[in-house]
Structure 1
Amino acid sequence: MTLPIITYPNKQLKVRSSEVIQFDGLLHQFLDDMFDTMMSSNGIGLAAIQVANPIRVLILCIPDEEGNQGKENLLEIINPSIHNPKGNTLYQEGCLSVPGFYEDVERYESLTLHYQNRHGEPCTLEATELLAIAIQHEIDHLDGKLFIEKLTYNRRKKFEKEYKKAQKEKK
């Protein structure tokens, strides 16, 4: 089942998500619904807060070399924490909650991620490149932050102007 994605400037996106303690059938169904929602929206990542559920859950499905996003490449990340971040890289990011806007954002180049899977088992992942960037982007959501908040003052003003213009054109 696909879930509605909440979009900027919805204040729910500012909520800091709570840790998951129940790893049950409800969580598993929610993870499956998140996957359906992300795929139907052509996303590569989705945080639970983006579908109005303030829990520390995110999913990622980075496309393979052919651009396919098979469920076998799906990462279900619960209660994540970043360790050993290294380097800096600039990447043009977009967001399902800020549709139609893309901006260069500086992120760590590589990191180690500690998290739990859908069954509550502890996992560790070494991430670089797009995967590391996507993890940081989605964890920001869990902390109530959007990628546009990382922009410089001038780029943020440009975003606000473009956003207001896009809203007027929709009416």
Structure 2
Amino acid sequence: MALREIIILPDKRLREISKPVTEVTTEIRKLADDMFESMYEAPGIGLAAIQIAEPVRLITMDIVRKEGDGKSDPRAFINPEIVGASSEMNVYEEGCLSIPEYYAEVERPKTVRIRYTDLDGNVKEEDADGLFATCIQHEIDHLNGVLFVDHLSKLKRAMVIRKFEKAAKRGIKYV
């Protein structure tokens, strides 16, 4: 495993649409391992491959660790897609490893049904709710070049982007 640098807004690569994974290979499994290590080190509960400058449709998550019961449930999702969503909405305060130290409430569908491939190459479907639903939607957004701030009002989004652009120009690097 290797610790990878997480790219930060305003890095334009965050707006790239990630390419599908065509085969679950040793390289994809190693990338997932690197992503878990980088995600835990940050620390975070979810990471999309594009956040470490790898434009492939791969997500790692561990929401159990966040909930603080001392357990861990690392999960990888290859080519994840939302195949159904509830009309009922939920609001969660979201943050992002690529937009450090900024949090905002985002409204998303309360439950979603996802289809993905696991690291063994098995295609699966499952329902997600609560933090899992929020996190998987957030990470799938990354794969499509969408950031959580894109769900905010135009004014709030512009303020956040401007803040990070100014910091980048001054050479301020968030850790």
What is the alpha-carbon distance in structure 2 between the residues aligned to residue 69 and residue 47 of structure 1? Answer: 22
What is the alpha-carbon distance in structure 2 between the residues aligned to residue 19 and residue 170 of structure 1? Answer: 33
Q: TM-score, normalised by structure 1?
A: 0.91
Structure 1 segments, 4+ long, off by >6 Å, are none
CA contact (8 A) 2:36 2:60 kept: yes
CA contact (8 A) 1:61 1:69 kept: no
Cα RMSD, aligned residues only: 1.9
CA contact (8 A) 1:17 1:49 kept: yes
- Where in structure 1 are there 5+ consecutive unaligned residues? none
- Distance change >3 Å, CA 170–CA 15, structure 1 → 2: closer
Paired residue for 2:68? 66
1:77 aligns with 2:77: yes
- Where in structure 2 are there 5+ consecutive unaligned residues? none
Q: TM-score, normalised by structure 2?
A: 0.89
- Distance change >3 Å, CA 66–CA 74, structure 1 → 2: same
Give 1:49-128 correspondences, 5 Å limit: 49-63=50-64, 65-68=67-70, 70=72, 73-86=73-86, 87-128=88-129
Q: SS at 1:63's partner residue?
A: helix
Task: Number of aligned residue pairs: give it.
Answer: 169
Deviates more, 1:147-156 or 1:9-18: 147-156
Which residue type is aligned with residue 117 of structure 2?
Q
Deviation at 1:154, TM superposition (A): 2.6
Paired residue for 1:8? 9
- Distance change >3 Å, CA 31–CA 160, structure 1 → 2: closer
Deviation at 1:84, TM superposition (A): 1.9
Percent of residue pairs bearing the same amino acid type: 36
Paired residue for 2:160? 159
